[in-house]
Amino acid sequence: SGVWSGGKIPSSSLDKAKIEHAITLQNNQSVYDLSFIGESASLTLNSKKLEVLDKLSAQSNNGFIGDSLAWIELEGENPSTISFKTDGQKLGSLVVNVESDSVYLLSALKIYEQLSTTSGFLNTQENDLKLFADSVKSATYLKGTGKVIGDLSYQRKFHSSNSGWRMISAPVMSQNY
């Protein structure tokens, strides 16, 4: 494991990065093209923001280790795949702002602050995509011209210290955007 080039991923719009082992992000960064190669390839987001300007390539056995404050923004014209390692399947925010057909989610993901489909599609590939809420904050879905293809669920966590009788209801049975 380690950090990339003094804690930075290349940040000019011409840089392409290939991750072949465990890396930790130390600063908010932008990269043009990002690929994960091999099972040990991972990028720990460390509560930072990563902007991918064109293409993200991951497989189901490698990818990000996220946290509830980390942020990923996907842009560009090429289809992308995004995946999270089992011990880090969470993000604060995910922004999909692509001109391509879809961004494909290859693992489960829990979002704690915001999911935004500004443009393009986020295809869940039948993976578990949840917006999460607890006693402190609730995640939101901001829909632009893009959309989520597949299931998107909302999970609310109740703490035992404030347990008791509750009525939980939803205003719709299902919603199409």
pLDDT tens digits along 34-76: 999 988 899 999 999 999 988 899 988 899 999 999 999 999 8
Contact 109/86 with Cβ under 8 angstroms?
no
Report residue 176's pLDDT band, with 50, 70 and 90 as the boundaries. Answer: low
Residues in the chain: 177
List phi, psi (to 5°) of 146: -85, -175
* pTM for the full predicted model: 0.83
